[in-house]
């Protein structure tokens, strides 16, 4: 053995168990927050799509000359209720209904979306609605009167 020195071997994995635990403690909360954020944004997108579809159904009802505004509101509220959303929380605005053939009718819905898990974080960023920890989702659909 000329010119080589033998190094003492350390036992395998002796100091690495603690290192792995520290890495897990650092990374796990970040991954969980990311996962919860993905679920929350998916739920918010679902509610937004329901609002858009409800506004579209309301606009379809609004452009028919024989429908009254109460019929349009009933159509929108029943669509929201079928999607498990409380129609009383939303603000429905109907403009231009029955103004003549070819003129636009617009249905706008504003609804507070409350984050289930991220509500306290959203409250820190500032509230935009009357429901604590909620953001305001709004959508509008315009169609021409028949």
Predicted model pTM: 0.76
Using the CB atoms, write b or e for 61-80: b if 16+ within 10 Å. Answer: bbbeeebeeeebbebbbebb
Contact yes or no for 94/143 (Cβ under 8 A): no
- pLDDT tens, 102-135? 899 999 999 998 887 766 665 566 555 556 667 8
Q: Which of 30 and 120 is assigned the larger pLDDT?
A: 30
The C-alpha atoms of residue 98 and residue 114 are separated, in whole angstroms, by 35
* pLDDT confidence tier of residue 96, bands split at 50, 70 and 90: confident
pLDDT score of 114: 83
Phi, psi (rounded to 5 degrees) for 109: -125, 130
The β-bridge partners of 110 are 91, 138
pLDDT score of 18: 80
> Going edge to edge, which strands form the sheet with 91-95?
91-95, 104-114, 134-144
């Amino acid at each position: 053995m000329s010119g080589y020195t033998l190094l003492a071997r350390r036992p395998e994995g002796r100091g690495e168990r603690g290192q792995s635990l520290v890495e897990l403690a650092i990374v796990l909360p970040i991954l969980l927050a990311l996962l919860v954020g993905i679920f929350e944004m998916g739920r918010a997108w679902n509610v937004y799509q329901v609002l858009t579809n409800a506004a579209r159904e309301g606009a379809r009802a609004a452009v028919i000359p024989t429908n009254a505004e109460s019929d349009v509101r009933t159509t929108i509220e029943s669509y929201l209720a079928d999607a498990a959303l409380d129609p009383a929380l939303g603000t429905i605005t109907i403009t231009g209904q029955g103004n003549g053939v070819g003129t636009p009718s617009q249905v706008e819905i504003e609804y507070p979306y409350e984050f289930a898990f991220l509500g306290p974080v959203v409250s820190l960023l500032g509230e935009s609605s009357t429901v604590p920890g909620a953001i305001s989702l709004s959508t509008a659909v315009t169609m021409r009167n028949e």
